[in-house]
Amino acid sequence: MPRHVTVGLHATIVAVTGTEPRVLTVSGGGGDDGPPALPFGPLDPDRHRTLELGLRAWVSDQTGMDLAHVEQLYTFGDRDRGGAAGGETRVLSVAYLALVRERELAAGHPAAWEAVYRFLPWEDRRGGEPALLGDGIRPALDAWIEAAEAGPARRERRGRADITFGAGAAGWDGERVLDRYELLYEAGLVAEAGRAGGPAAAGAPPGRAAAGPTGFGAPLAFDHRRILATALGRLRGKLKYRPLVFELLPETFTLLQLQRTVETLAGVRLHKQNFRRLVERGALVEGTGRVEPATGGRPAELFRFRREVQHERPAPGVGLPGLPVSGS
Amino acid sequence: MPRHVTVGLHATIVAVTGTEPRVLTVSGGGGDDGPPALPFGPLDPDRHRTLELGLRAWVSDQTGMDLAHVEQLYTFGDRDRGGAAGGETRVLSVAYLALVRERELAAGHPAAWEAVYRFLPWEDRRGGEPALLGDGIRPALDAWIEAAEAGPARRERRGRADITFGAGAAGWDGERVLDRYELLYEAGLVAEAGRAGGPAAAGAPPGRAAAGPTGFGAPLAFDHRRILATALGRLRGKLKYRPLVFELLPETFTLLQLQRTVETLAGVRLHKQNFRRLVERGALVEGTGRVEPATGGRPAELFRFRREVQHERPAPGVGLPGLPVSGS
DNA sequence: GCCCTTTATGCTCACAGCTAGAATAACGGC
DNA sequence: GCCGTTATTCTAGCTGTGAGCATAAAGGGC
């Protein structure tokens, strides 16, 4: 008698507050003190005509939010995905990325906005390479690499680490968020790796000690951090050719606000003058006459997103070069 | 009593023969004379530990093929997705893209290799813009646009058509395969639009006559042409930053073979000298000393894929410019 | 053997876009 | 009025790409 299949709809709901990207979490599985989880709801095969409508429905029910942009990310279906009703039913999770303008959560809901980079601290390079990388992650990865027997196996590990964490000539690739998380997972450097007998648990505990007992970054329940990594990677990629940022900003904004929001998601600082040029030449925004009452210096003009762009150019997005730092 | 959920694993298996991209089809639903379908098999929650393993398992069972590259595309879950066991169970389809080197199909299997561009003829621009576009599709789209009431609704349609089919200043975007198919679907210009009461059936039949009773391109069963469009779009996009082509080529090949394979998938002709420059500068291939016994002119050197690239550069792929034609 | 056709391969020029700053304008606070 | 801060404009230099010219190396017809 085959087990039944149940479908869960997972949402990575992202907003930006000022200069910090946030994700909506709920208190997680495993008692009240376990790690937080991404919100999710079951698909009701009777009521929900499409998957996306199902997602919007329970998000609206549970949090009162209307999602702006919604996009399917990936479907996770491994049998032993930590937690989840193990025995009788097989659980399939369809994960979504959703963007909203942040707002107060209706009181009484057990949800909270958490900083995305609490869970993936190595992804935030706005202040240059974070110390965590040089002090903790790279040494731990080196240990993991050395733990492989010399020869092709070790070279393989070295190559992967160099590529994903941008060591070689090639620099840091902001979109490889998932690759990096999965590498850390395999190396046993994130807390999730220790949980329920995944295949990785056997492989390589050596670097583990270096990461401390809890691994790098704050954990999420189940495999939700993997979902979050998928979401951030996708978001970073799509920023470049779709005007997604504007879903996160108020109706009018200054160019610096826009830039900060992009930087926040991309995890990198951008060159101000060039950013402005790209945005303006791309005709992504139009000035309203008004200005923002000075934020410390000369007042900035307020701009508005030109929705028409989507019907004019094939791939309108904010160019995302790879600028290291440069004076703000 | 909620209906059960069943999960189908759909495979878009792509190979390239000489100069033509092919997709594996099986004789479809609705009797033997119905349109062909993409092969699919059910997920067995008991036997298949992961979705991808499940897919590989039944593809191997049914066709004897071992898939090279496999990647998840999208999960389709609308309730009324044409065909499928309508009543009791809800069917979820997880669609995959798989690449193989083409080979003879074991006799007795009811599968066949079909040219991809039979189903999406407007996507093949290797000989310049196909006549079908100017003669059939654009006029039919114009009719559909005019059928909307003047004002924003009509401008909206015009904008979408211009973008997706590359009419305005912006040229043709090879990756928008799905957008184009969906636009044709909404405009009632593909055969599938007429089937089982989808939402589009109501909207706009006007352009329909222009397309003839069967619509543009050969149909596939259910919503499989949508899946194929998703696959082709994804493949075109990924070619640019992942060395996928090599999964489709023999161990050694000439640069022209490589170029033809890329052109075949991209649906566009490329500038020979520049293509060569990109491939060599990207260090994607290395020459074997040997040469291909002349193919009509000076013999060409045989090259081999440098697998190491994947551990050297972050985004190794074959540059895909937008060259119109140029002397071969 | 010579000429012609065909394909491979090498090289160069022009231009567009991007990187990185310098320079200038407009505000508030002292 | 001077200073620090932020906005906005401009420009020089570099690099990658688009396009084409030129040359090399085969085979076939005569």
Q: What is the DSSP string of B240-274?
A: TTS--GGGTS-SEE-HHHHHHHHHHHHTS---HHH
pLDDT on residue A31: 59
Strand-pair category, B90-99 with B69-76: antiparallel
For residue A324, the model assigns a pLDDT of 47
A51 touches chain B (CB under 8 A): yes
State the smallest CA–CA distance between residue A297 and chain B in angstroms. 39
Taking the C-alpha atoms of residue A1 and residue B58, their distance in angstroms, rounded to an integer, is: 20
Question: Residues A270-286: pLDDT tens digits?
Answer: 999 999 999 988 889 99
**A294: Cβ under 7 Å from strand C?**
yes
User: Could you report the per-residue pLDDT of A254-274, keeping only the tens digit for each?
Assistant: 999 999 999 999 999 999 999
Which tokens is A72 given?
Answer: 């399917």
Confidence check: pLDDT of B259 > 90: yes
Mutate to test the interface with A, among B55, B73, B75 (most CBs of A within 10 A): B75
DSSP of B213-232: TTBSS---STTHHHHHHHHH
Q: Do strands B90-99 and B5-17 pair parallel, antiparallel, or not at all (unpaired)?
A: parallel
How distant is the alpha carbon of residue A35 from its chain centre?
17
List, in sequence order, the alpha helices (H) in A46-175.
51-63, 116-119, 131-132, 138-146, 152-164
| Residues ≥6 apart with Cβ < 8 Å to A232 | A116, A120, A123, A177, A265
B102 has pLDDT over 50: yes
pLDDT of residue A108: 67
Whether B92 has its CB under 8 Å from any CB of chain A: the answer is yes
Strand C atom within 7 Å of A297 CB? yes
Q: Which residue of B has its CA nearest to A46?
A: B2
User: In this complex, which of A5, A75, A310 lies closest to B45 when CB atoms are compared?
Assistant: A5
pLDDT digits (tens, 9 = 90+) for B1-17: 456 788 999 999 999 99
* Res A2 pLDDT > 60: no
- Mean pLDDT for the stretch of residues B121-131: 93
Beta carbons of A229 and A120 less than 8 angstroms apart:
yes
Mean pLDDT for chain B? Answer: 85
| pLDDT tens-place string over residues B204-227 | 444 444 445 579 999 999 999 999
Confidence of residue A296 (pLDDT cuts 50, 70, 90): confident
Question: At residue A82, does pLDDT exceed 90?
Answer: no
Q: Tens digit of pLDDT for each residue in A178-233?
A: 999 999 999 999 999 877 554 444 444 444 444 455 799 999 999 999 999 999 99
pLDDT tier, A91 (very low <50, low <70, confident <90, very high otherwise): confident
Q: Which residue has the higher pLDDT, B305 or A210?
A: B305
Cβ atoms B96, B23 nearer than 8 A: no
pTM, two decimal places = 0.90
B42/A contact by beta carbon, under 8 A: no
Does residue A246 have a pLDDT over 50?
Answer: yes
Distances (CA, A) of A240 to A55, B61, B97: 26, 41, 24
Distance from CA of B56 to the nearest CA of A (A): 14
